[in-house]
């Protein structure tokens, strides 16, 4: 039985929408504007342990769309997953939590952002594919530079 306990475990426990907000602060007047909107998308990844061997990984997208200097709409969506990760070497844990888990959560987030845009009466904003490995490696390099080469990390990845 002890041999079976040492087997690596990586499985999804649940995927869920943790938070969603839509704001149209300048409606209805701004809806009459004919100018092309400017879209700004920010992504963030966070992870935290919630029990022994159980982790919550969240991917947050903030989509701000402006016409001239006024906000047309703002969407913030946070999609989360609960993952069971056990008996994985410590040097591989951060990569699993920072690359594999967000890669599984992100497609749900993309669908939600597109759907909420459409339901709000706008053309869908399609979030592009994300290379979570590149994001993870960039974050690790920043942490190494900031810590004088010491390993460590917060588990948060942010892009602009």
Q: List, for residues 82-119, the tens digit of each pLDDT value.
A: 999 999 998 899 999 999 999 999 999 999 999 999 99
The reported pLDDT for the residue numbered 91 is 85
Instruction: List the CATH number of the domain containing 62.
Output: 3.10.420.10
Q: Does residue 85 contact residue 55 with C-beta atoms inside 8 Å?
A: yes
Q: Is residue 151 part of a domain?
A: no
Q: Is residue 26 part of a domain?
A: yes
The whole-angstrom separation of Cα 86 and Cα 63 is 35
Give residue for tokens 């100018």. Answer: 35
| Full strand arrangement of the beta sheet holding 70-86 | 9-23, 70-86, 54-67, 38-51, 157-159
The helix/strand/coil state of 41 is strand
What is the total count of domains within the chain?
Answer: 1
Q: Is residue 156 part of a domain?
A: no
Q: Does residue 107 contact residue 115 with C-beta atoms inside 8 Å?
A: no
> What is the pTM for the complete model shown?
0.83
Q: Is residue 160 part of a domain?
A: no
The reported pLDDT for the residue numbered 72 is 95
The reported pLDDT for the residue numbered 149 is 46
The arithmetic mean of pLDDT across residues 27-36, rounded, is: 89
Helix ranges (H only) for the chain are: 2-5, 90-95, 101-119, 132-146
The whole-angstrom separation of Cα 43 and Cα 59 is 7
Q: Does residue 47 contact residue 60 with C-beta atoms inside 8 Å?
A: no
Q: Which two tokens stand for residue 34?
A: 């004919």
Q: Is residue 59 part of a domain?
A: yes
**Domain coverage including residue 128:** 18-145
The reported pLDDT for the residue numbered 160 is 36
The reported pLDDT for the residue numbered 10 is 95
Q: Does residue 37 contact residue 73 with C-beta atoms inside 8 Å?
A: no
Q: Is residue 115 part of a domain?
A: yes
């Amino acid at each position: 039985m002890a041999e079976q306990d040492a087997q690596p475990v990586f499985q999804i426990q649940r995927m869920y929408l943790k938070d969603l907000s839509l704001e149209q602060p300048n409606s209805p007047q701004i809806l009459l504007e004919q100018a092309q909107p400017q879209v700004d998308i920010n992504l963030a990844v966070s992870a935290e342990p919630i029990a022994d061997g159980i982790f919550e990984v969240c991917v947050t997208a903030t989509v701000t769309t402006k016409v001239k200097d006024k906000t047309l709409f703002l969407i913030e969506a946070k999609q989360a997953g609960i993952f069971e990760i056990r008996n994985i070497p410590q040097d591989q844990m951060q990569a699993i939590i920072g690359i594999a888990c967000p890669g599984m959560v992100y497609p749900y987030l993309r669908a939600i952002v597109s759907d909420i845009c459409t339901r709000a009466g706008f053309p869908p904003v399609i979030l592009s594919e994300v290379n979570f490995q590149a994001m993870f490696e960039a974050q690790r390099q920043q942490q190494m530079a900031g810590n004088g080469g010491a390993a460590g990390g917060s588990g948060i990845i942010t892009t602009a």
